[in-house]
């Protein structure tokens, strides 16, 4: 039996990264964080420092962006770096969830069965249903273009998993890596680990973990100091976030009309209820199942309880005093720390249920495996009922009503993932007659743009500003679909963005039109961009060109712009101002 346990463990150990690699290539979601890496690595020439592009370069304190810039310097493609970024996030989610389940149900049945159960649930939770408890103010995502949203969810999950598995050193060290990647969540997790250590030392009178915790803490701290010093050297600034100099009236208008995350007054009561339920279950797990949990798992559970209690406290205080909070509190968006437990909630519910089933099987004298099978089927039905939309999207993503059910059979999720894996693989020319090249179907267009030698900014409508940056390698005046960097970029960024909104997009910063949206959430709606751009006269464009050093505009070919056409491919058109 021990030999079989080891074999199954080794198979799972090898299978997890292979599955994560498969899905990271299959999805191949282009990561927004690499836009900053392109600027940081000087792949794109920035004409001056008073610009949105320069803010993207110097105001992104993240080790991840430096690593991405390094990979780009090595010659990797944009999509290749995106796949690597996605891979590590998925891998941390998988390992974290797997280790949490495995640690909690470790004494329920034989080790081989424990590992198989943990593996299957982790796979379903991540790749089929995308289970999470919910979110507050900031999205909890597993697969997304929003890199920091992914890592803000995956790395705490990974750290909790390490704790549960007894990897104290790596848990503390990983918390400092998170600090280098995502400052707010990193500081949060370090604080949680320290508080848990204090409670375990003085309340439980345990000290077995102290040596590993201190070593992990010190090495992690050294890593952070080195990275912070390098960041300060390359950017010429010792500030991670610029918090002073705001015009408070202008900042208030930003909060009310444009801020995407920090000024949401709504309270997610359902998420609060589910979090409290998770906390109660976790406490019951610690209190009444000591024989089922080892010291390491209990340590992890205590840290999760602390995360919920303190996260809920911060979230509640943030909402109550939102309108009177100073910029230095709103800037790090502290309410998002309440999301830290979202991805591990269902694995804990699932694991505790298995422990209960084990106890019931003893009492009613039914073999655990049979009782678990009944539970598994029932749980699957419940999960499906609560996640019908995700499951239907998974199965019927390529459904064609004219073809009928055959469209699902021919384009089932597995076959679709294999096809996209081949399509996005670096070696797709082995499987395809013609090598596939990314770029929204306009590769030749962006290749021609890339060859332009200019020392000016460019304007592109959404979503083509992304391709202009990533494939055309030209500095964008502003990303009209996402410019929510005011609190990270400081007072200068606020004035730059306000000026561009009012003079390029002709939208009153303090009173934007309510339609078509009640709030703009850090972007200018595409419908308004089209109306405004088509309404401008040549002289208006000339004023913009002279003020902002902009000479080129890229929009869909069905837009009518009062500018001379440089060239078009029928889908996109490049206009030249002067």
Q: Which two tokens stand for residue 371?
A: 């009782």
pLDDT for 189: 97
* Distance between CA atoms of residues 292 and 108, nearest Å: 7
CA neighbor of 125 nearest in space, from 380, 395, 304 = 380
Identify the segments of the chain with pLDDT beneath 50.
Answer: 409, 435-436, 439
Write the CA distances from 242 to 48, 59, 90, integer angstroms: 19, 9, 32
CA neighbor of 345 nearest in space, from 280, 291, 299 = 280
* Distance between CA atoms of residues 311 and 274, nearest Å: 13
Q: Is 413 within 8 Å of 395 (Cβ atoms)?
A: yes
The β-bridge partners of 568 are: 573
Element (H, E) at 389: helix 388-396
**Cβ neighbours for 464, distance < 8 A, ≥ 6 positions apart:** 440, 554, 555, 556, 572
Longest dimension (CA), the chain: 86
Read off the pTM. Answer: 0.89
pLDDT for 321: 93
pLDDT, tens digit, for every residue of 33-72? 999 899 888 899 888 876 777 776 666 789 999 999 999 9
pLDDT for 23: 92
* Distance between CA atoms of residues 249 and 244, nearest Å: 14
Q: Which two tokens stand for residue 186?
A: 């990193």
Write the CA distances from 335 to 139, 158, 262, 303, 353, integer angstroms: 12, 21, 8, 18, 30
């Amino acid at each position: 039996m021990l030999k079989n346990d080891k074999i199954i463990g080794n198979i799972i150990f090898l299978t997890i990264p292979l599955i994560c690699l498969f899905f990271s290539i299959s999805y191949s979601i282009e990561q927004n964080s690499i836009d900053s890496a392109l600027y940081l690595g000087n792949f794109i020439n920035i004409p001056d420092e008073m610009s949105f592009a320069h803010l993207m370069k110097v105001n992104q304190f993240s080790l991840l962006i430096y690593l991405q810039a390094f990979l780009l310097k090595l010659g990797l493609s944009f999509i290749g770096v995106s796949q690597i970024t996605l891979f590590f996030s998925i891998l941390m989610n998988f390992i974290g969830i797997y280790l949490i389940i495995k640690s909690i149900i470790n004494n329920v049945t034989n080790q081989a069965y424990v590992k198989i159960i943990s593996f299957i649930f982790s796979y379903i939770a991540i790749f089929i249903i995308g289970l999470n408890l919910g979110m507050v103010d900031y999205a909890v995502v597993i697969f997304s273009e929003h890199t920091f949203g992914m890592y803000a969810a995956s790395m705490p999950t990974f750290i909790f998993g390490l704790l549960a598995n007894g990897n104290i050193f790596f848990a503390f060290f990983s918390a400092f890596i998170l600090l280098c990647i995502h400052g707010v969540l990193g500081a949060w997790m370090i604080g949680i680990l320290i508080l848990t250590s204090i409670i375990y030392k003085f309340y439980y009178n345990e000290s077995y973990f102290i040596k590993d915790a201190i070593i992990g803490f010190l090495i992690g701290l050294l890593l952070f100091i080195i990275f912070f010093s390098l960041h300060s050297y390359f950017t010429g600034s010792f500030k991670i976030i610029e918090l002073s100099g705001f015009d408070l009236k202008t900042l208030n208008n930003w909060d009310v009309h444009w801020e995407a995350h920090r000024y949401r007054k709504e309270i997610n009561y359902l998420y609060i209820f589910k979090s409290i339920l998770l906390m109660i279950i976790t406490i019951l797990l610690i209190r009444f199942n000591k024989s089922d949990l080892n010291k390491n798992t209990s340590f992890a559970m205590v840290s999760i309880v602390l995360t919920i209690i303190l996260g809920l406290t911060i979230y509640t205080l943030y909402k109550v005093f939102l309108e009177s909070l100073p910029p230095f509190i709103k800037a790090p968006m502290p309410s998002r720390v309440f999301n830290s437990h979202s991805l591990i909630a269902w694995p804990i519910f699932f694991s505790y249920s298995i422990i209960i089933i084990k106890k019931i099987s003893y009492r009613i004298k039914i073999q655990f495996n049979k009782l678990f099978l009944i539970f598994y089927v029932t749980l699957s039905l419940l999960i499906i009922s609560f996640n019908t939309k995700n499951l239907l999207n998974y199965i019927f993503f390529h459904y064609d009503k004219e073809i009928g059910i055959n469209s699902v059979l021919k384009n089932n999720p597995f076959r679709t993932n294999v096809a996209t894996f081949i399509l996005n693989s670096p070696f797709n020319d082995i499987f395809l007659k013609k090598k596939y090249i990314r770029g929204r179907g306009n590769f030749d267009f962006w290749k021609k743009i890339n060859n332009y030698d200019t020392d000016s900014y460019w304007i592109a409508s959404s979503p083509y500003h992304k391709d202009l940056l990533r494939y055309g390698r030209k500095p964008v005046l502003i990303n009209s679909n996402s410019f929510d960097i005011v609190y990270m970029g400081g007072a200068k960024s606020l004035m730059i963005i306000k000026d561009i909104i009012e003079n390029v997009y002709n939208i009153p910063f303090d009173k934007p039109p309510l339609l078509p949206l009640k709030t703009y959430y850090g972007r200018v709606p595409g419908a308004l961009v089209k109306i405004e751009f088509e309404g401008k006269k040549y002289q208006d464009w000339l004023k913009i060109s002279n003020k902002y050093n902009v000479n080129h505009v890229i929009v869909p070919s069905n837009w009518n712009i009062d500018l001379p056409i440089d060239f078009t491919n029928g889908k996109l058109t490049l206009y030249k101002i002067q």
